[in-house]
Amino acid sequence: MNWAVIMAGGSGTRFWPESRKHRAKQFLDLFGPKTLLEQTFDRVKKVIPPSRILVFTASDKAASTAKLLPIPRSQVIGEPAGRNTAPCAAWAASLVLKKDPSAVLGIFPADHFIKDEITFSKVLRVAFGQADGSGMPVTLGIKPDQPHTGYGYLEIAGKKATVRGTPVFFLKRFHEKPALAQARAYLRSKKFLWNAGIFIWRADCLLETTRRELPAVFKTIVKLAAGGISAVVAKKLFTKVPNISIDHGLMEKLSGGILTIPVSMGWNDVGSWASLGDLLPVDRAGNLSVGTNILVESSGNVVKGTGRLIATVGLKDHVVVDTGDAILVCPVSKTESIRKIVVELQKRKMHRFL
C-alpha cells in the first residue's frame, strides 16, 4: 500500500521575525488560514489516507504538531535531533514495514507550496505505481521556468515509459545548485529539472539501501523503530548518526537507477520573504501587501503587518515585516541574509526574539 511521511523538522530562520525557534516555517500561515504543514497534509491525503501518513518533526514539537493535524499522536514521530532526511526516511521506512511489508513510501517536505494540486495528485499516483513496480526510487522534477540558482537540479536520461499521459524518465544524475551561467544552460537544454525533495520509494528497498550504504544509520534506526528505549538513550543514539540527505546518502549510491517524473504544478520551496511576492497576488506596482498598509510610489515590495499601520513612500524592492514585537526591513535581494539577524540576536542573548 501507499504510505506517506511528511518531514516537518525544519527550523528555518529565513522567515524571521515571523518564524521563531518554536515556530518554524512549516508552522507559519503564510498563505491564508492554514499553515504550510496543514496544506501539505491536505494535499497528500488526497492520494493517501490519513491513517497511512506519518509526520516527523523535532521531538519538542511533536505534541503541538499532532494537535494541528487530524491524526493520532502515535503517527507523529519526534526526532531527538535534526539529522537531515536520510535517517528520517529510513526510520519511517522501518516503521511502515512493520505494518505493511509491501509499503511504498512517499516522502514530502512539509514547507513547500504547490499551486496545482490536481496535477500533483495525478503525478503522485503515477510515481507510486512506478516505484512499486520497479523497486527504484522516483523523484518529482519541477520543470524550470527561470535559471534559478537556489535549487539543486535533476538531469534526466532516456524515457522509461509514458503512464496515462505522464512520461517517466531515468535520472542521469543529481546536480548541486548551479552558478547563473550554468543554470541558464540547464534551462535551455530542457534536460534539467528542479529537485523538489519529493521522493517515492518502496520501503524495503529504501531500508535495504540504508543497511548497505549507511550502516550506522541503519543500526540506530532498527533500535529506534523497535521501541522501548528511553528518550535520553534515543537522543544519544540519534545524535551520533551522520547528518545526510536521501539524495546524497542513499540515491546517489544506487547502481540500479532512479526514475524522474517531470512536472509543472506551481511548485515553490517558499525559500524567503521575497518568494511570497511570486506566490501571492500583488498590486499593479508589484507590491505584496498584507495588513493595513499605505504604499505611496512604492513598487516590488513585500509588506506584511499585523494591525499596525505600515506606510512607505518611494520604497523599491524591500521586505517589511511587522510581527508586533519586532520589525524587519531589508532589500528583497538580501533575504538570504536574514539568518545573520538571528545570529546577532543569539550573540546579544535577546532570547525573546529567537
Q: Which residues bind a copy of itself (CB under 8 A)?
A: 16-17, 294, 296-297, 305, 308-316, 318, 320, 322, 324-331, 333-334, 337-338, 340-341, 344-345, 348, 350, 353
Cβ nearer to a copy of itself, comparing 94 with 275? 275
Cβ of residue 284: shortest distance to a copy of itself, in angstroms? 16
Count of CA atoms in the C-beta half-sphere (13 A) of 337: 7
Phi, psi of 33 (to 5 degrees): -70, -20
Cβ of residue 113: shortest distance to a copy of itself, in angstroms? 24
Cβ of residue 10: shortest distance to a copy of itself, in angstroms? 21
Q: What interhelical angle do 36-44 and 117-134 show, nearest 10? A: 60
Cβ nearer to a copy of itself, comparing 6 with 328? 328
Residue 72 CB contacts under 8 Å (≥ 6 apart), including other chains: 66
Cβ nearer to a copy of itself, comparing 239 with 333? 333
Please count the residues of the chain. Answer: 354
Cβ of residue 310: shortest distance to a copy of itself, in angstroms? 5
- From CA 79, how far away is CA 76, in angstroms rounded? 10
- From CA 241, how far away is CA 210, in angstroms rounded? 12
Cβ nearer to a copy of itself, comparing 57 with 301? 301
Cβ of residue 343: shortest distance to a copy of itself, in angstroms? 8
- From CA 100, how far away is CA 224, in angstroms rounded? 18
Cβ of residue 348: shortest distance to a copy of itself, in angstroms? 8
Output the nine-digit C-alpha cell for 210. Answer: 540504508
Cβ of residue 274: shortest distance to a copy of itself, in angstroms? 12
- From CA 88, how far away is CA 241, in angstroms rounded? 11
**Beta strands 153-163 and 166-175: pairing type?**
antiparallel
- From CA 269, how far away is CA 113, in angstroms rounded? 6
Cβ of residue 201: shortest distance to a copy of itself, in angstroms? 39
Cβ nearer to a copy of itself, comparing 3 with 16? 16
Cβ nearer to a copy of itself, comparing 35 with 312? 312
Residue 294 CB contacts under 8 Å (≥ 6 apart), including other chains: 309, 310, 311, 312
DSSP-assigned states of every residue in 103-129 = -EEEEEETT-EES-HHHHHHHHHHHHH
Output the nine-digit C-alpha cell for 231. Answer: 528518550
Cβ of residue 354: shortest distance to a copy of itself, in angstroms? 11
Count of CA atoms in the C-beta half-sphere (13 A) of 136: 19
Cβ nearer to a copy of itself, comparing 162 with 292? 292
Cβ nearer to a copy of itself, comparing 99 with 339? 339
Cβ of residue 200: shortest distance to a copy of itself, in angstroms? 38
Q: In what order do the strands lie in the sheet with 288-290?
A: 288-290, 302-304, 318-322
Q: Which whole-number Å values give the CA distances from 44 to 41, 47, 106, 319, in the listed order?
A: 5, 6, 9, 31
Cβ nearer to a copy of itself, comparing 62 with 345? 345
Cβ nearer to a copy of itself, comparing 181 with 311? 311
Cα dihedral value 227, 229, 234, 237, nearest 10: -100
How buried is residue 218: exposed, middle or buried, by Cβ count under 10 Å (0-12/13-18/19+)?
A: buried
